[in-house]
Amino acid sequence: MSRYSNRESDMSEALSNVLNGYNTGQHRYMDEFIKNWKSASDLLILGIYPNAKEITESYAAFNCVRNKLKYDLSDPN
């Protein structure tokens, strides 16, 4: 199996896991993850987010920092 087809297989499995979560109602932050982050596919392939639950939990915490704590994420310090 070539390296490229292995990556396709990994991506297919990762997307399948994410779409399953999306179909079960875990989509509030899924849209943001998929639409706004160019690295989403790489993060899925690396197993950083093995399923939709992990994505939604991480993005809920991220959203809290952005909106509730009003932390300026553009400040590199």
Enter the pTM of the model: 0.54
Q: Which whole-number Å values give the CA distances from 25 to 4, 5, 36, 53, in the listed order?
A: 32, 30, 19, 10
Confidence of residue 24 (pLDDT cuts 50, 70, 90): low
- CA dist., res. 2 & res. 53, Å (int): 31
CB 11 within 8 A of CB 44: yes
For residues 14-33, average pLDDT? 70
Residue 33 has pLDDT above 70, yes or no: yes
